[in-house]
Chain A
Amino acid sequence: MKHIVTTILLCLLMSGTRLLAAPAPQQQDFEKANSLFRQKQYTEAANIYQRLVDEGFDQPELLINTGNAWYKANRTGLAVYNYEKALLSDPFSKAAQHNLSIANQRVEGYVNELPQLFFQQWWTAIKYMHAPNGWATGTIIFFWLTIAGGIVLLLRPTLLPAVVKSATGILGLLFAFYLFMAVTTYVNATSHDNGIIMGSAVKVKSAPDQDSKDLFELHEGVKVQITDGTSEYCKIELPDGKTGWMACGDIKKL
C-alpha cells in the first residue's frame, strides 16, 4: 500500500518536472528563431517563425515576430502579411499597427486605407469582445438559461411570474445576439477575402485571361480585397476602388 502511494507520487513528480523542463516543442522553435533573429540571421529565423504560423498558430506575438524577421530580411510582402494576420487576431495590438505602418512605407504604390468610423470601431470592439468560440459558448449558456426560465414558467407559474418572465425575455435576447455574433465572427474568421501581393511586380488585367489588357501594376506587399475568382484568376479590389483581375498565385490570402 505504501509502495503504491510512493510510486504514484513519484510519477506525478516526474511528470510535473517534465512539464516544467520540456515546454511545448513550438516554444523551443520559437526561442530558436528568436535567438537567430538576435544574431541577425533574419531569413532563417523568419523561416522557422513562418513554419509555426503555417501550422496554424495565430498568437499575435508570434505573428509580429514573424513579420519583424521578414521585414529585416527585406521581404516586405511576407512582413505585411504577418502583421495583417496579427491584426486579424488582435486588432488593437499597438505593436502590429506600428510595424505594419512601417512595413507599408516600403510598399511601392501603397494605398492608405480609410480609418474606421466610430461605429465601425465599436463594431470591431464588440466583435473582438470574445473569440469566435467564446461567442458560441455564450450562445449555449444563454440558450440554457433561457430554456431554464421557460421551464420555471411552465412548471412553477406561481413563482414570481413577472420577474421570471422579464429575465427569460432578456436572456432570450442575449441568446439571439450571441448566436448572431457567433455566426458573424465565424464567417469573418473563415472567409479569406483579403490578400497580400507576393510577386514583386504583378500586372493587373482587365479580364481573367492572359491576353487581356494590362490595367495597372501592383507591387509586393499591397493589400487587396478578393471579390470574385476563377480557379486561376482572382478579381481584386483596392482600397481606392480600382478593380482588376490577376493570377491567384501572386496573392497570399490572409
Chain B
Amino acid sequence: MKVITVSIRRSLLSLLFLLGIVTSLRAQEFKFTTSVSSNRVALDEPFQIQFMLENGTNVTQFTPPNFNDFELLQGPNQMQGTSIVNGRRSDYIALIYLIRAKRVGNFTIPAATARVNGDVVKSNPVTVEVLKGNNNAAAQQQQQHQQVPVNPFAGMGQRSAPSHQAEEMEGVLKNGEDINAKLKKNIFVKVDVDKTSLFEGEQLTATYKLYTRLPTNASVTKVPAFKGFSAKDIELPNPPQASEEMVNGIPYRVFVIRKTMLFPMQSGTLELDPVEVDNHVRLVKLVKNGKRRDPMADIFNDPAFKDAFNDPFFDDIFNRPEVEYQDVPYKIQTAPVKVTVKPLPIDSRPASYNGAVGRFNMTATVDKNNLSTDDALTLKVTISGQGNVNLLNAPKVDIPASFDKYDPKVSDNIEKNSNPLSGSRTFEYVLMPVEAGEQTIPPVEFSYFDAASKTYKTVTSKPFNIHVTAGKQTKREKEDFSIYKNAITNNSNSVLNWVKHNTYFITSIWFYLLLMLPLLALVGAWLFRRRLDYQQNNAAFLKHRYANKVALKRLELAARYLKEGKDKAFYEETSRAVWGYLSNKLHVPFADLSKQLIQDKLAQQQVGEQYTADLFDLLDNCEMALYTPNHNNTRMQGTYQQAVQVISKLEDELTRAKSAV
C-alpha cells in the first residue's frame, strides 16, 4: 500500500478533511480495511493495528472490534489525509491502536464496523500469530521508531501531535503510579561537553540534549548566556532529528536543543549556565470502569461540526471510553557544568601572539610591487585553519613610516556548521606610499597556540620589496584648504655659509687675555700717574732731605771726631766742612774765601739775613773753641747740631733761590 501521509497542523488538517469530504468523495471508491504492522509478534511486544476508511463520506460511527486477547496500550490515534496513488486521489481516515498480546497463540481480530453514508460497513478480520517473548523485541521496536519519527520540537512552543509507539507505551499512566517519579525517570535534559579542562581560547563543544521516553511538547524557556565565553551556535537541522541513545540500558529518544562551540575568554573555573525546558507531557490514563459513550455520535451530530475539530478533545473523539489523556506541565533544567580553563603559558609566548588558539596557516600577498606615490597597494593577510577563527585579531604588521596605513578591512569565510570551527579570516591593509624609492615591507608574523602540542607556533611570510616611483601628487594638493595652510614650507635650496657655531668665544683663553690686557694698561697708567703726582707734590721735601744729606756727608768726619772726643780735630773739621761747603756752593776757590765775600755772595743769592748770621755764629764758635783749651763735650754736641742745621738751611735757601731765578 502506497500511502503518502501528510502530517500537518490540525486546523489545516480539518480543513483538508472538510474539503476531502465535500469535493472528491462521490467519484472515488470506498474502502474499509484493517491492517497490522506485523502478523507475527512476540508476547509483550506492542504492535499496531490500523483501520483505514478510504473515500468514506459522512462517516458517523466507528466501532472498533473487541480486543479480547490483547491489551490496549494506546489509541486510537487518528490520521486524516489525502493520498494520490497512480494519479488517483483518495481521502482517508486512519485509526491506529497500539496493542499487545496477552497470550501465546493464533488470534483473529474481528472486523471493525462503521456507518458510512448511513450504511454499516465492515472491515476485514486479521489473524495474528503470537510467539513467545524473544530478544529481538527491542530491535523491532527500534524499527518502529524509525518508521514514525515525530518530533516534539517540530513547532517549538506549539503543540504538536505526538504519536510514537514507544512514547505512547511509556505514556500510559498505570493506576497508582506517581506522575512526578515517572516524569523524572523518563524526561531529562543534559549538557554534554567534549572536554572539561582546556586552554583559554581553545574550542569547547557544548551540546544540550533532551532525553525523553514520553510524548511531550517542549519549549526552551531559558537560553544559556555563556558568561566568560565567546559562543558560536551550530545550526541544527530544522525540523530537528531525533536519535536513539541508551541510558542505563533504557532507550531514549534524544533531541538536540542547542549545540554551541565555546571559546573561553578568561582562565579559571567557568560554569556553563543551565538551560531550562518547559514540557507538556501527555499521559494516558487508564480508567477501568468508565461510562461507555459514543464519541462519533457526539461529534458528528454536533451542529457546529467544523468547530468540533478545534476542540481540544478532538484527539479523543475515537477514544475508547476507558482511556483518558492528561497534559502534565513539567519544567526541567540541566545540571550546571564546570569547566576548568587553563591560562596560556606566558614564558614562551612570542611577541607576535595575539590570541589565536588552534591550528592555522597564514598567507600574505601584496597586489602590486611597482607603483607610484599616487597609487595604493593592498596587503592581504589570510589566516585559515581550525580554532577560534571568529576571534582572530589582526596580526601586527610593521608598516614602514614611508607608507600611510589604514585600518585593515576584515572579512570572514567560516565554514558553515564546521566543528571544530574552521575557516579563514582575511585582513586587507590599504597602504599609500608617501615616499619614492625601494621600500621593504617587513615579513608578516602570525603566532598561534597549538592546544594539542601545548606550544606556540609562528608563521612568517616573506618580506615584500616594493618599488615606489614619484607620482605627480596632484591628489594631495587638492586636499589642502589653501596653499601653505596645512603644508610645510618648501625647502630652501640656497647656498649656505657652512660655519659651525659650536665654539664659544667666552670660553676661549683669548677672551680672558683680551680682558686682562687693558687692565694691565690701566695699571700702567695708574702707576705712571702716581709717579707724576709724587714728583710734583713732594719735590720740596725731597730737596730738603737732600740738603740735610749734603750737610751730614760734609760733617761725616766731624761726627767721628765728636764720638772720639777729639775736640781740637772736631772743631777744625767742622770749620773746614762749612768752609768747604760754602766754597763748593758759591763757586769760590777755597783760598779766596772770606767772611765778607761769603756775606756778599749770600746776599746776592737772596739768602735770608738770619741764615748768614747763623753761619757766622757757627764759624765764630768753631774758632773760639779752637783757641780756648777747655774741653766740653756738651758744647761739641751743640756745635755739631748747629753745623748740620746751618748747612741744611743754607742748602735749602740756595736751592730755593736758584729755582726762583
Contact = CB atoms under 8 A, between A and B. Distances in A.
Nearest to A67: B488
Nearest to B500: A56
A37 B491 contact: yes
Nearest to A141: B514
Contacts of A217: none
A109 B499 CA distance: 37
Contact of A71 (B488, B495, B526, B528): B488
A151 B521 contact: yes
A41 interface: yes
Contact of B488 (A103, A131, A133): A103
Interface in B494-524: 494-507, 511, 514-515, 518-519, 521-522
A250 interface: no
B453 interface: no
Contacts of B435: 40-43, 72-73
B402 A57 contact: no
A173 interface: no
B538 interface: no
A189 B489 contact: no
Interface in A1-41: 23-24, 26-27, 30-31, 34, 37, 39-41
A39 B515 contact: no
Interface string B465-485: 000001001000000000010
A111 interface: no
Nearest to A89: B501
B494 A133 contact: no
A151 B504 contact: no
Interface string A93-105: 0010011001100
Contact of B495 (A23, A42, A74, A102): A23
B401 A99 contact: no
A170 interface: no
Given A56-B502, A189-B504, A99 B489 contact: yes
A142 to B, nearest CB: 11
| Interface bin, chain B | 35 or more
Interface in B383-406: 401-402, 404
Contact of A68 (B402, B470, B491): B491
Contact of B505 (A102, A136, A143): A136
B179 interface: no
Contacts of A73: 401-402, 434-435
Contacts of B488: 67-68, 71-72, 98-99, 102-103
Given A31-B493, A136-B504, A155 B522 contact: no
B492 interface: yes
A95 B402 CA distance: 24
B436 A41 contact: yes
B402 A43 contact: yes
A57 B497 CA distance: 10
A244 to B, nearest CB: 26
B529 interface: yes
Interface string B440-453: 00000000000000
A213 B518 CA distance: 60
Most buried by A among B486, B492, B511: B492
B528 to A, nearest CB: 7
B104 to A, nearest CB: 88
A117 to B, nearest CB: 27
Contacts of B514: 140, 143-144
B437 interface: yes
Interface string B94-133: 0000000000000000000000000000000000000000
A148 interface: yes
Contacts of B505: 132-133, 136-137
B525 interface: yes
Contact of A72 (B434, B492, B501): B434
B504 A65 contact: no
A40 B470 contact: yes
Most buried by A among B488, B500, B526: B488
B495 A186 contact: no
A143 B518 contact: yes
Contacts of B494: 61
A135 B511 CA distance: 11
Interface string B405-447: 0000000000000000000000000000011110000000000
Interface in A42-101: 42-44, 55-59, 61-62, 64-65, 67-69, 71-75, 89, 95, 98-99
A147 B519 contact: yes
Contacts of A190: 504
Interface in A119-158: 131-133, 135-137, 139-140, 143-144, 146-148, 150-151, 154-155
Interface of B: 373, 401-402, 404, 434-437, 470, 473, 484, 486-489, 491-507, 511, 514-515, 518-519, 521-522, 525-526, 528-529
Interface of A: 23-24, 26-27, 30-31, 34, 37, 39-44, 55-59, 61-62, 64-65, 67-69, 71-75, 89, 95, 98-99, 102-103, 131-133, 135-137, 139-140, 143-144, 146-148, 150-151, 154-155, 182-183, 186, 189-190
5 contacts: A27-B495, A43-B402, A98-B489, A136-B505, A137-B505
